[in-house]
Amino acid sequence: MKKRIDTLLYDTDTAKELARYSSPLPYTDTGYYNEWLYKKRTGEYFLYGEGNPGSKWAEKVHYDNAYVAGADIQPLTFEQAQRWFEKANNADPELAPDKIYDQEFGTISQDDEKVQAKLYLSSLAKRKLVQLAQKQNKTQSEIVENLIMSE
């Protein structure tokens, strides 16, 4: 499913699926639903959900006062995604694995392994970075890392 919300595009085909939650109700129950947590390449989290007519994913029929089975996308903040994952993990750790929780939401450990990152800066920001590195007798990487880690 693809949906644009507040100028941002959410697409289940291009985002990474992190976890799934199935409601504990029987499939034939009107309240039954499934949800999938996704993460976009740019870091935003979102839910894709689908459900029966009595579920929170149901769609209202425009010409009637009734609901039908439906599906939709809902953007989530980091905290909302973390809470959703915890609920899904408690319900079924196979569909929402601990390993993925730790990768996405776990405590950031003291990891000294260096990895390469490609950044695009304005030419002014790049000049300032070079100057800061020279003044502080540090590498440009150390300047950027110190700024990030001070948050």
Helices 98-105 and 78-91 meet at what angle, rounded to 10? 170
Whether residues 94 and 118 fall in one domain: no
The pLDDT value recorded for residue 12 is 98
Final residue before a domain boundary, out of 73, 88, 105: 105
* 32 and 23 Cβ atoms separated by less than 8 Å: yes
pLDDT digits (tens, 9 = 90+) for 62-72: 888 899 999 99
pLDDT tens string 1-42: 999 999 999 999 999 999 999 999 999 999 999 999 999 999
Same domain? 6 vs 58:
yes
Asked if residue 148 and residue 87 are part of one domain, the reply reads no
Whether residue 79 is found in the same domain as residue 117? no
pLDDT at 115: 82
Domain extent at residue 83: 2-105
Same domain, 50 and 67: yes
- pLDDT tens per residue across span 41-65: 999 999 999 999 999 999 999 888 8
pTM over 0.75: no
- Which residues neighbour 63 within 8 Å (Cβ) at sequence distance 6 or greater? none
Q: State residue 65's pLDDT score.
A: 86
The number of folded domains in the chain is 2
Band of pLDDT at residue 110, cut at 50, 70 and 90: low
Which amino acid appears at position 35 of this protein? E
Task: Kindly state whether residues 76 and 131 are assigned to the same domain.
Answer: no
Same domain, 132 and 95: no
Same-domain pairing of 55 and 126:
no
Residues constituting the chain: 151
- Whether 93 and 41 map to the same domain: the answer is yes
